[in-house]
Structure 1
């Protein structure tokens, strides 16, 4: 606990809330809850929803996984907004609950991707988010299992390595009946002053726009997503994220010391308005990031984005019901594992072995008994 306190002490004076023993203990308790609930949901639900059911229907397997793990993911917005008292303020355009979308966002800090859950929860689409994320996150204990079976797309940030994987995995998402929010951070890494200087130098030398608040976007992954899934997308959601005072770290979130406010500006661009050729897509994405840069510049001056108030506050009652459901499931699973038949312990052990192997070897299943679905079971190289 001393190490945790010291890691935040240097910036404690500028935090929204002071780091107190109560906040440290509360944060550690929440992390324990996240780990225990994630573990139990993975070992008891994934073998049924993402393995057995998937042998019969990929569509219904994905719907089941989205519902079950949407319950678990709902703990995070509840923690951010109701426990940490972080205000999440939406502006721009309202988004449709029925859209199948490619979502692009700027990457200010390591926790941006978590706050997209606050938007998805309000739209009832929390379980449908799939991220393109760095492959090292797939190796996290327990959470990596969830990322794999939620079908997140791992990348090494080297196009010659990533192109084959991205195209193979994206080709499994072409069914328009499968709800999808595919989230991509085109900058490829989180923002820092040092990275910004390098990005500006590269832009200046190569005739690209010189940006101040975002990095120059990488376009090949974005174009690949459009090329493969354009026929099933309804729109692109262009999300710009900003924080009051300073950007939070993961530990700031855990202990509830920052951020005080998260601002998200949303633009909905119909897919028909996005160009098709790679050259035009590159120009379109550069324009989108110039627009983000101007939005963030105005935010620095004004403290808010235009057209605020597009989404309502989360319902405390619904959040508590969701939390109670997750904790109830977890309590039942803990009882079955430790205080019931030995066969439950055997089941948990076998499930852990399978989850570890499937994640490590990147094994993905498709329908075997479904009449209209292609069979594949292989390691993605």
Structure 2
């Protein structure tokens, strides 16, 4: 029997038992309540008020708090659900400022990038290019706005100005940044793959079997605008044992049994500046991804495994206790303390709803007066 088939027989997914069901709902309740309390209490202070004086320090403080909360998820995946996360390829340095590109196997690929970011001390500074409909999610949509994710309609004539405007605000090399882009633009399905293969044959492009043809314009815009402020591009290829998980699979811990992430670090000098050459580079990169996944299917693993160690259980527990303790204090203040805390929460929710709906972020006072001076001089 082939090694891959043997491993698949041994690695069956976990059954959805009543205990897993109860544990999953408990975790989801904790995560939603902590997200809500962190957003409504901290956002007006750090993402609004502090931003009036310094975008840099607003981002630093917001990244710290975001990372504190976001670390709950790798704790869930690796320590509670016992999902094995296997890293391979290159071992990348800590605390670099990077553009990250990945394939999109399923709706939760982006969540497993947190496991890599946590190990590199960059969890709080991760941002995504995501579809605009996700901004309408309750609570989480507010977070996507506060932490400056880039929402797109997946129509370049609409998205170009939005992306370029947002990317230009990320050019300060002192600001922490892990910008994650999924060039395929959507998650992989057999139907989408067949459609993409037909398009490739008609247009003389490579026929891919495990990934979709990448959309190149958004990637080139990221490289073009951020080139002078990035340390590298990380090319991450994601694969799963058994089947691809859904969000609720992650919550209840029934899948995946293993997640494999293959990482390549590419210096910016290795990526062409000319758009046509940059597009070709990206297409070649996805051909490599396609081959890597084919090999993974055949052998059950990526080459050069073991580039990252396991998370510290103690650190994960301490972080979890801190987040829950802060949330407990905030909850007590909201329900049993002065009425002014209730007023603050209501006003904070109103601000977050307004800012998200109208894509509003405060402009620093000094920059505002400078722009007024420039207008008068003109």
Q: Deviations over 1:125-171 (max 9, x none)?
A: 00111100001111100011111010000001111111110011111
Shift of 1:369: 3.7
What does 1:276-315 align with in structure 2 at a 5 Å threshold? Answer: 276-315=273-312
Instruction: Note closer, same or farther for the CA distance 1:53–1:370 as it changes in structure 2 (3 Å cut).
Output: farther
Shift of 1:95: 1.1
- Length-normalised TM-score, structure 1: 0.93
Matched, 1:344 2:341: yes
Question: Distance between the aligned counterparts of 2:264 and 2:280, measured in 1?
Answer: 18
Is the 8 Å Cα contact of residues 95 and 121 (structure 2) preserved in structure 1? Answer: no
Aligned counterpart in structure 1 of residue 62 of structure 2, from 62, 65, 68: 65
Q: Which residue does the alignment assign to 2:8?
A: none
Q: Secondary structure at the match of 1:363?
A: coil
Shift of 1:362: 0.8
Instruction: Note closer, same or farther for the CA distance 1:160–1:298 as it changes in structure 2 (3 Å cut).
Output: same
Q: Secondary structure at the match of 1:309?
A: coil
Q: Which residue does the alignment assign to 2:223?
A: 226
Q: Which residue does the alignment assign to 2:4?
A: none
For structure 1, list consecutive stretches of 5 or more residues without a partner in the other structure: 1-13, 376-381
Question: Distance between the aligned counterparts of 1:359 and 1:90, measured in 2?
Answer: 35
Question: Distance between the aligned counterparts of 2:123 and 2:116, measured in 1?
Answer: 8
Q: Which residue does the alignment assign to 1:216?
A: 213
Question: Distance between the aligned counterparts of 1:244 and 1:350, measured in 2?
Answer: 46
For structure 2, list consecutive stretches of 5 or more residues without a partner in the other structure: 1-10, 373-378
Question: Distance between the aligned counterparts of 1:200 and 1:175, measured in 2?
Answer: 40
Q: Secondary structure at the match of 2:128?
A: strand
Shift of 1:358: 0.4
Aligned counterpart in structure 1 of residue 178 of structure 2, from 174, 178, 181: 181
Q: Secondary structure at the match of 1:173?
A: coil
Aligned counterpart in structure 2 of residue 134 of structure 1, from 112, 131, 135: 131
Q: Secondary structure at the match of 2:365?
A: coil
Q: Deviations over 1:156-196 (max 9, x none)?
A: 11111111100111110010111111100000000000000
Question: Distance between the aligned counterparts of 1:66 and 1:374, measured in 2?
Answer: 27
Shift of 1:370: 6.5
Shift of 1:371: 10
What does 1:185-264 align with in structure 2 at a 5 Å threshold? Answer: 185-264=182-261
Is the 8 Å Cα contact of residues 73 and 127 (structure 1) preserved in structure 2? Answer: yes
Equivalent pairs, count:
362
Q: Which residue does the alignment assign to 2:5?
A: none
